């Protein structure tokens, strides 16, 4: 079996790795045509990727199976990373909701009785007015959060941490209109998490709001540092 050494962007040497592992690195955009390669044979020289026919054929096969014709290097993000990003974004939205309550308590007149203590106490007493206010506030904040970040940067804070972004069916970044539509539909996806769970069974791990809004979540790093073996 053929094995190779790879020179990473940090100029470090990684390997030896076989074609199967190199294919996984190519799927993650960690290696490509510009990558320097040498065979695992002793004292073999560094050569360009294109000088190895087996590597050229492997990369061509990887790019041919891409979802996006114009951007063959884009790879759909796995479900596990999406779940991790969702968890981070939920924490961010929750923190923003708490800050919103504190801001309201600071700005609104005292006679209105809007304080953090009163709000929490009202929720604990299961008062409908406080529950409705909490649900509407978090819902509006969630839609606004996803609309702003996806429309302006193509990724939320959670997706940015885990190296993902949202694109349309052509591989381009979505605009604010599509971002709002996707964020609004995602509210329905949260119903018993059914809309998110179907990503385990759909092609390209697409959730309900991805399918309806015509979006994909992809990896966004471009040949990042190769992990040591």
Question: Which residues make Cβ contacts (< 8 Å) with residue 138, sequence separation at least 6?
Answer: 93, 94, 97
- φ/ψ of 141, rounded to 5, equals -65, -40
Asked if pLDDT for residue 84 goes beyond 90, the answer is yes
Domain ranges of the chain: 3-64, 79-219
Average the pLDDT over 197-202 and give the result: 88
The mean predicted confidence, pLDDT, of the chain is 83
Per-residue pLDDT reduced to its tens digit, 146-158:
999 999 999 999 9
Query: Per-residue confidence at 93, pLDDT binned at 50, 70, 90?
Result: very high
Per-residue pLDDT reduced to its tens digit, 100-111:
777 766 665 555
For the beta carbon of residue 168, count every other beta carbon within 10 angstroms: 16
pTM: 0.67
Question: Minimal CA–CA distance to 88: which of 146, 28, 133?
Answer: 146
Alpha helices by DSSP H, the chain: 19-27, 53-64, 79-107, 116-124, 128-153, 157-161, 176-189, 194-197, 208-213
Query: Per-residue confidence at 183, pLDDT binned at 50, 70, 90?
Result: very high
Determine the pLDDT at residue 57: 92
Per-residue pLDDT reduced to its tens digit, 29-59:
778 888 999 998 888 999 999 999 999 998 8
Asked if pLDDT for residue 226 goes beyond 50, the answer is no
Query: Per-residue confidence at 137, pLDDT binned at 50, 70, 90?
Result: confident
Asked if pLDDT for residue 72 goes beyond 80, the answer is no
Asked if pLDDT for residue 224 goes beyond 50, the answer is no
| In contact, 85 and 165? CB cutoff 8 Å | no
Asked if pLDDT for residue 80 goes beyond 60, the answer is yes
Tokens of 207: 């959730």
Q: How many helices (H) and strands (E) does the chain have?
A: 9, 6
Beta bridge partners of 37: 6, 47
- φ/ψ of 216, rounded to 5, equals -135, 150
Is pLDDT larger for residue 19 or for residue 28? 19
Question: Which of 54-68, 88-102, 131-145, 213-227 is predicted most confidently?
Answer: 88-102
Q: Which fold has domain 3-64?
A: Dna Ligase; domain 1 (3.30.1490)
């Amino acid at each position: 079996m053929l094995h190779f050494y790879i020179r990473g962007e940090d100029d470090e040497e990684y390997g030896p790795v076989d074609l199967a592992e190199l294919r996984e690195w190519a799927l993650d955009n960690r290696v490509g045509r510009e990558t320097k390669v040498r065979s695992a044979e002793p004292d073999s020289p560094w050569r360009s990727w294109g000088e190895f026919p087996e590597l050229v054929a492997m990369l061509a096969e990887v790019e041919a199976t891409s979802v996006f014709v114009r951007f063959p290097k884009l790879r759909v993000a796995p479900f596990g990373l999406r779940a991790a990003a969702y968890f981070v974004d939920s924490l961010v939205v929750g923190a923003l909701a708490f800050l919103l309550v504190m801001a309201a308590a600071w700005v609104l007149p005292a006679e209105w009785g809007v304080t953090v203590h009163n709000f929490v106490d009202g929720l604990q007493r299961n008062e409908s007015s406080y529950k409705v206010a909490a649900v509407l506030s978090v819902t509006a904040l969630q839609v606004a959060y996803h609309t702003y970040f996806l429309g302006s940067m193509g990724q939320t804070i959670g997706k940015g941490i885990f190296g993902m972004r949202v694109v349309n069916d052509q591989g381009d970044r979505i605009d604010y209109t599509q971002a709002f539509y996707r964020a609004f539909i995602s509210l329905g996806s949260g119903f018993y998490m059914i809309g998110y769970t179907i990503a385990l069974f759909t092609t390209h791990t697409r959730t309900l709001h991805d399918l309806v809004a015509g979006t994909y979540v992809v990896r966004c790093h471009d040949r990042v540092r190769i992990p040591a073996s």
